[in-house]
Amino acid sequence: MKKILFVGVLTVLVLSACNSSATSMPDVINTPVSLLTKTPILPTSTLAASPTSAPITEQPDSFEYPSVAEALADLKTRGDVSIEVSQGWTIATEADGLTTWSFTPSDHPAYPAVAKRILYQDQDGWHIKMSVRCEAEKAACDQFVRDFEALNEQMLQYIEQQKKP
């Protein structure tokens, strides 16, 4: 049930929030996100770009593939990964159902880029570990990261809401 909920929420949030024309993010980012609020998520919500935000610090060599293209090519060969394309986004979901890869469409400002997110639970609750590879301009990559950080928070808020009676 957790796997299905995660994949469904993730897909809806990615497709609804990342269809904007302004998106950015750095080469590689690892962002653990902890659940802090209890605001419900609206699946059709969109994210506003924050053009005044400071640039995001890059963390070179922390992504497991040297390029976005190589990541997608390898995932396509793996038997434990299902891949679907929706509204131009390529979404790869690993067999555990808790690890997803979101590849930007070719018309996205941050293209080529991918966000890998792993949903996990520990004694403090649910969290998302995110790593990103973005090969576009820095401003587009920074916005891509911000958008996915916001999506992560929305997803965690949604999961928290589902725990309430």
User: For residue 2, is pLDDT > 60?
Assistant: no
Q: How crowded is residue 65: how many other Cβ atoms within 10 Å of its Cβ?
A: 17
Q: Is residue 66 part of a domain?
A: yes
pLDDT, mean of residues 118-139? 94
Q: Is residue 154 part of a domain?
A: yes
Distance between CA atoms of residues 114 and 136, nearest Å: 11
Q: Is residue 73 part of a domain?
A: yes
Distance between CA atoms of residues 11 and 30, nearest Å: 20
Q: Is residue 53 part of a domain?
A: no
Q: What sign results for the dihedral spanned by CA atoms 114, 133, 59, 94? A: positive
Residue 71, sorted as left (phi over 0), alpha (psi -120 to 50) or beta, turns out to be alpha
User: For residue 26, is pLDDT > 50?
Assistant: no
Number of separate domains in the chain: 1
pLDDT tens-digit map of 74-95: 999 999 999 999 999 999 999 9
Please tell me the pTM assigned to this model.
0.70
Q: Is residue 54 part of a domain?
A: no
The pLDDT assigned to 58 comes to 58
Domain that holds residue 33: 2-48+59-162
pLDDT, mean of residues 54-75? 82
